[in-house]
């Protein structure tokens, strides 16, 4: 049975139906539980049953040439083909234990390709906080996080070629990031959020180095499945080597589950899906309505402002798609509200401070990807803060 500690956030009691009074709205983190209701409503889809003898070996099967189960990489390619968000034909794909592992795998491998010096790793603020945190935590002797990209070749800092990390859509702002001018080295495009429920798909991206994650497609973040799509064979081999040295591959159960989930998504958009709504349509509706409600709250006063996102024609939906971002990137406008995180906390909202993303603490990031009850709590609390004089 369900014990109290397994209740959803802000609920308690023997059947988890009692809401905890004054429970803070924890909208830090990026846990994608907004997708859970879809899988509950379609509980017959995507399930896997695993016999005890299944795939015990480190190798996917005897004398397997790769680390991956048959069909896993094919499912990734088919999913991209369905959505039309990325070119994968003729590209190499490496899977990792979440794209988190691959962020470092790519940075490490690019630094190996640029041997003989400490490669600078850069990201333009606001950048996904893990780029800095992970890179600094692992304290490598062959690369170093240095912050803002330097666009001038042969620059004063003498950095030369830099490894640049770009999330597009960006985390935290969800802006699409165009190819920067005057880059002086390889660019890693993290397309974690380039899926139609989160942003309009305007083209199939075809960058040299691209990262994706199951976490933000189907929402199965706990399965820890991510993948890199690369053009360069040498980089591909270095990425494979990294994943082998680091974790001897990726959990076979996770690969199996991911394959099944991706096949389910693909099937839900093909003939004979018995009229069920696919996850992209269903989740877009939810996130778009959250965004619209948030905008209305923010516009009700001048205390806060939100990033500006525009509708665009989505090639996957075949129509103009309204913004449906995963995060609100809030700016505190009042002179005295210099610490936007503290302002949020005073109203019972836990966010992530602008400084984590290399920005000012006048900004705070709030996730819109959690459960509906958390969003409702956030909306009510933010409305109160906006109205405060």
Stretch that binds ligand PMP, among 68-76, 96-104, 148-156, 334-342 (CB under 6 A): 96-104
Stretch that binds ligand PMP, among 92-100, 256-264, 285-293, 302-310 (CB under 6 A): 92-100
Residues 6+ apart with CB under 8 A from 4: 12, 13, 14, 16
Q: Which is nearer to ligand PMP, 104 or 159 (CB)?
A: 104
Stretch that binds ligand PMP, among 86-94, 97-105, 248-256, 300-308 (CB under 6 A): 97-105
Reading the block at residue 46, the tokens are 């995507």
**Site membership for ligand PMP, residue 195 (CB under 6 A):** no
**Site membership for ligand PMP, residue 378 (CB under 6 A):** no
Q: Which residue is nearest to ligand PMP (CB)?
A: 98
Q: Strands of the chain (E only): list them.
A: 11-12, 18-19, 25-26, 92-97, 119-122, 143-147, 163-167, 187-190, 209-213, 225-230, 304-306, 312-314, 319-321, 327-332, 349-350, 352-353, 363-367
Q: Which of 367, 351, 44 is nearest to 221 (CA)?
A: 367
Q: Measured between alpha carbons, how far is 340 from 353 in angstroms, rounded to an integer? A: 7
Q: Least CB distance from residue 13 to ligand PMP, whole Å? A: 31
SS3 of residue 286 by DSSP: helix
Residues 6+ apart with CB under 8 A from 382: 294, 297, 298, 304, 347, 349, 366
Q: x/- contact string, 12-31, with ligand PMP (CB under 6 A)? A: ------------------x-
Binding residue for ligand PMP, selected from 26, 85, 88, 99, defined by CB under 6 A: 99
Binding residue for ligand PMP, selected from 98, 120, 196, 249, defined by CB under 6 A: 98
8 A C-beta contact, residue 300 and residue 386: yes
Binding residue for ligand PMP, selected from 35, 72, 128, 189, defined by CB under 6 A: 128
Q: Which is nearer to ligand PMP, 103 or 286 (CB)?
A: 103
**Site membership for ligand PMP, residue 190 (CB under 6 A):** yes
**Site membership for ligand PMP, residue 176 (CB under 6 A):** no
Q: Measured between alpha carbons, how far is 263 from 46 in angstroms, rounded to an integer? A: 8
Q: Which is nearer to ligand PMP, 194 or 280 (CB)?
A: 194
219-248: which residues touch ligand PMP (CB under 6 A)? 221, 226
Neighbours of 201 (CB within 10 A): 22
**Site membership for ligand PMP, residue 88 (CB under 6 A):** no
8 A C-beta contact, residue 101 and residue 226: yes
Q: Which spans of this chain sit near ligand PMP (rule: CB under 6 A)?
A: 30, 98-100, 128, 167, 171, 190, 192, 213, 215, 221, 226
């Amino acid at each position: 049975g369900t014990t109290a500690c397994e209740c959803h956030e802000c609920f308690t009691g023997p059947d988890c139906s009692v809401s905890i009074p004054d429970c803070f709205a924890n909208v830090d983190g990026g846990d994608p539980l907004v997708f859970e209701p879809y899988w509950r409503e379609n509980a017959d889809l995507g399930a896997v049953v695993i016999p005890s003898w299944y795939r015990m070996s480190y190798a996917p099967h005897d004398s397997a040439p790769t680390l991956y189960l048959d069909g896993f990489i094919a499912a990734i390619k088919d999913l991209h083909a369905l959505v039309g968000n990325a070119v994968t034909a003729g590209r190499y794909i490496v899977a990792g234990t979440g794209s988190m592992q691959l962020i470092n795998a790519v940075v490490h491998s690019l630094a190996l390709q640029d041997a003989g010096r400490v490669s600078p790793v850069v990201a333009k603020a606001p950048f996904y906080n893990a780029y800095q945190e992970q890179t600094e935590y692992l304290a490598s002797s062959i690369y170093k996080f240095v912050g803002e990209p330097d666009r001038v070749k042969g620059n004063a800092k003498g950095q030369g070629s830099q490894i640049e990390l770009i999330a597009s859509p960006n985390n935290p702002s969800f802006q699409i990031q165009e190819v920067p001018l005057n880059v002086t080295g390889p660019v890693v495009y993290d397309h974690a959020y380039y899926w139609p429920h989160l942003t309009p798909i305007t083209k199939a991206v075809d960058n040299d180095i691209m990262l994706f994650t199951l976490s933000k497609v189907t929402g199965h973040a706990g399965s820890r499945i991510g993948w890199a799509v690369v053009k360069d064979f040498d980089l591909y081999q270095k990425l494979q080597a990294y994943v082998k040295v680091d974790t001897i591959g990726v959990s076979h159960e996770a690969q199996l589950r991911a394959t099944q989930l991706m096949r389910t998504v693909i099937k839900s958009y093909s003939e004979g899906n018995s009229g069920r709504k696919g996850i992209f349509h269903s989740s877009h509706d939810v996130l778009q309505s959250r965004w619209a409600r948030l905008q209305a709250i923010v516009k009700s006063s001048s205390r806060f402002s939100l990033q500006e996102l525009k509708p665009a024609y989505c090639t996957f939906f075949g129509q103009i798609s309204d913004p449906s971002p995963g995060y609100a990137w809030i700016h505190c406008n009042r002179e005295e509200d210099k610490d936007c995180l503290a302002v949020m906390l005073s109203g019972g909202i836990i966010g992530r401070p602008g400084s984590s993303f290399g920005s000012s603490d006048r900004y705070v990031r709030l996730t819109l990807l959690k459960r509906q009850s958390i969003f409702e709590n956030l909306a009510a609390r933010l409305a109160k803060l906006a109205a405060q004089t």
